Amino acid sequence: MAREPLRSYQNQLMNYGIGRAFADNKPVTRGQMALAELPEDPTTYLDNLKRLKMAGGISRVDELVPNDIFEATEAVTGAGGITPSSSYMQMDYGTGRFAPDGTPLGEPGTKIIPEGPKMPVPLGASDEAIAQSMIAKKEENKMSAEEFRANEAKIADMQGMPTGDPVETAFIAGIDEFIKASRGAGPDAPKPKTIEEYKEIFSDATGLDVSGAVDKSQALMSFGLALMQNRAGKNFNVGKILSAVGKAGEAALPALEKAKASAKQAALAGGKFALEMQSADEAKRAAASEKAMERSDYFIVPKGGGISGTASAILNDKGRLEKLSKYEINQLLNNPEFAKNYDILDGAAYTEILSEVMKTPEAEELYDTKTPRKIELFGEGAGDLFTIEIWRALPNANVDGKLSGTGTDTYQALARAARDINKAKEQFITGMDLAEGVNIFRFGVDKLDSLASTLGFNMREGLTPTQQLKFILDKLQAQNAPAILGEAGKTISDADRARVAQIVGDLNAGSTADEITFKLNQLFNDIIIKKERDILNALQTLDRYTGKNVSGMLSPSQELSEEDEAERVEGLKSLGIEV
């Protein structure tokens, strides 16, 4: 009976692949048992080993080999149904530097799985005795650990040896597994001695740069590498395949991970708001609801092939830009089916990601990646807001040019320009309505004043009505048009200015009302109608690169079929709208 708990611990470890298979048939240590009993924590080296086992990294050679190091790493981090608390880039390995049984790490480069039980607790001891013994052992280790740290750091500094840092230790363990899978673990196989040698092996195999301190993602990748090699078998050179693919993923890794992390933060916030929406406090409920529903741009990319695959999906237009609220992101990421198949990236980081993806070898095969080409949507002289940048597709690459960015800012700027053009249009309508009936009997000074005011001018005093109209038209010359047109004024090019100046320039003090209204009409056509067409053309150009169809919705030439027309009329009537 007394041994039952032990057997239970042992079974648990065996389930995780730790125990006989992993410690070469040596008995399971109590430290391992204690750790296995703890809730699953993605922050330990031991956890990663578990995952490597669960992903089939040790024995399941018949499993499919992951496409790349990133997919392999994800297979390890997500293995066995263990859900990491967050993405693997966010994992915290903790600060202790002990082997799983509580022993300070030994000689640099040596395995951290102990060869046998270190704690002198007899089999059959009670749980309480085991616990007491562990506490005592930990206390004892505290002192020796501090001494150990100081010594080890000193030696490592002098020799470039592994420092025993948990991240580094995990990295080394992963590479050890990789080496074992590549060439077997015979007694003659030489082992790397320094951390630099480990890094070199990793770099040779994956093509990734590991200069500087080993980071968490590289440590996890070393397990991914081991997994791949295990599955591929020792006669297969995984490293050769990986070095090319890895470079692509590596280039995009920081921005992609940042964008993923940002989306996850938004999801967490969405979850928080969802809870607050249930609050008893009405004001709190309303505020949470408002925040939860605020929408921003997010890029949804199909998973597959790890980070390199994500980069490839972006290059091949498999991603989709969506306006999502934090609440929706939370819902999506909590949907296992969605989370399994898609990544959500913060749209704000998309330009940066794309710029990094364009540095990859894959991108170079499809696009002119030297520098994006600028397209001025309203011609030379218009504002920067209306200039987009395109990565040009190479001839025969069979892909479209790719917009640098999401295009959202440009759509918004165009919408503001359309709104301001509409305001200006209203001013022209008012002005024309006033001007049409101008004559000494009907057109009082007050009307001209109101026209001037509509157009935002202060009328000079002492002018005849005709002179006043002339004054107004003068003010409409191009240098003032941008002010009248607001955002749309930024769309006015140098050519527009010349044309408007020419129209107004023909007027003189003796111009009649008819001449003035004629000019006003001309100005309307040249400023308003032309700008409207320009905005529509700009929308079409933008749609071409974003894959949207906003401009298509605006086409008046799109006549409805008889059936569609009947449906439209019926629909409007059902909504109580007069047709």
Interface residue list for another protein (CB under 8 A): 293, 320, 322-323, 325, 411, 414-415, 418-419, 421-422, 425, 428-429, 432-433, 436-437, 439, 441-442, 520-521, 524-525, 528-529, 532-533, 535-536, 539, 548-556, 558-560, 564-565, 567-568, 571-572, 575, 577
What is the nearest approach in angstroms of another protein to the Cβ of residue 295? 9
Of 105 and 413, the one with the shorter C-beta distance to another protein is 413
Radius of gyration for the alpha carbons in the chain, expressed in angstroms and rounded: 35
Of 147 and 433, the one with the shorter C-beta distance to another protein is 433
The Cβ of residue 193 has, within 10 Å, a number of other Cβ atoms equal to 15
Q: Look-up: residue for tokens 């609440």?
A: 327
The Cβ of residue 427 has, within 10 Å, a number of other Cβ atoms equal to 18
Whether residue 118 contacts residue 103, with contact meaning beta carbons closer than 8 Å, is answered with yes
**All residues at 6 or more sequence positions from 441 whose CB lies less than 8 Å from its CB, including other chains:** none
Of 140 and 433, the one with the shorter C-beta distance to another protein is 433
Of 184 and 571, the one with the shorter C-beta distance to another protein is 571
What is the nearest approach in angstroms of another protein to the Cβ of residue 100? 47
**258-262, long-range: CB within 8 Å, 24+ apart, which pairs?**
258/346, 258/349, 259/299, 259/345, 259/346, 259/349, 259/350, 259/352, 259/353, 260/87, 260/343, 260/344, 260/345, 260/346, 261/86, 261/87, 261/89, 261/90, 262/345, 262/346, 262/348, 262/349
User: Phi/psi class of residue 317: alpha, beta or left (left: φ > 0; alpha: ψ in -120 to 50)?
Assistant: left
The first and second tokens of residue 195, run together, are: 């951390």
Length of the chain measured in residues = 579
Please classify residue 85 by burial: count the beta carbons closer than 10 Å to its beta carbon, then call 0-12 exposed, 13-18 middle and 19+ buried: exposed
Phi and psi dihedrals of 283, rounded to 5? Answer: -65, -40
Of 92 and 436, the one with the shorter C-beta distance to another protein is 436
Of 191 and 548, the one with the shorter C-beta distance to another protein is 548
Distance, CA of 391 to CA of 537 (rounded, Å)? 20
Of 364 and 532, the one with the shorter C-beta distance to another protein is 532
Phi and psi dihedrals of 280, rounded to 5? Answer: -75, -25
What is the nearest approach in angstroms of another protein to the Cβ of residue 543? 9
The first and second tokens of residue 163, run together, are: 């420092």
Distance, CA of 338 to CA of 74 (rounded, Å)? 16
The Cβ of residue 365 has, within 10 Å, a number of other Cβ atoms equal to 12
Distance, CA of 390 to CA of 169 (rounded, Å)? 45
Full DSSP string of 367-380: B--S-PEEEETT-T
What is the nearest approach in angstroms of another protein to the Cβ of residue 418? 5
What is the nearest approach in angstroms of another protein to the Cβ of residue 550? 4
Distance, CA of 387 to CA of 404 (rounded, Å)? 11
- β-bridge partners, 339: none
Of 141 and 430, the one with the shorter C-beta distance to another protein is 430
Of 398 and 561, the one with the shorter C-beta distance to another protein is 561
What is the nearest approach in angstroms of another protein to the Cβ of residue 557? 10
What is the nearest approach in angstroms of another protein to the Cβ of residue 422? 4
- One-letter amino acid of 165: D
What is the nearest approach in angstroms of another protein to the Cβ of residue 536? 6
What is the nearest approach in angstroms of another protein to the Cβ of residue 564? 6
- β-bridge partners, 375: 388
What is the nearest approach in angstroms of another protein to the Cβ of residue 441? 5
Whether residue 31 contacts residue 102, with contact meaning beta carbons closer than 8 Å, is answered with yes
Phi and psi dihedrals of 345, rounded to 5? Answer: -115, 145
What is the nearest approach in angstroms of another protein to the Cβ of residue 561? 10
DSSP 352: H
Of 147 and 565, the one with the shorter C-beta distance to another protein is 565
What is the nearest approach in angstroms of another protein to the Cβ of residue 334? 18
Of 122 and 556, the one with the shorter C-beta distance to another protein is 556
Distance, CA of 51 to CA of 73 (rounded, Å)? 10
Distance, CA of 527 to CA of 537 (rounded, Å)? 15
Q: Look-up: residue for tokens 């529903």?
A: 293
Of 255 and 504, the one with the shorter C-beta distance to another protein is 504
DSSP 440: T
Of 252 and 414, the one with the shorter C-beta distance to another protein is 414
The first and second tokens of residue 208, run together, are: 């990734």
Distance, CA of 38 to CA of 28 (rounded, Å)? 16
What is the nearest approach in angstroms of another protein to the Cβ of residue 388? 16
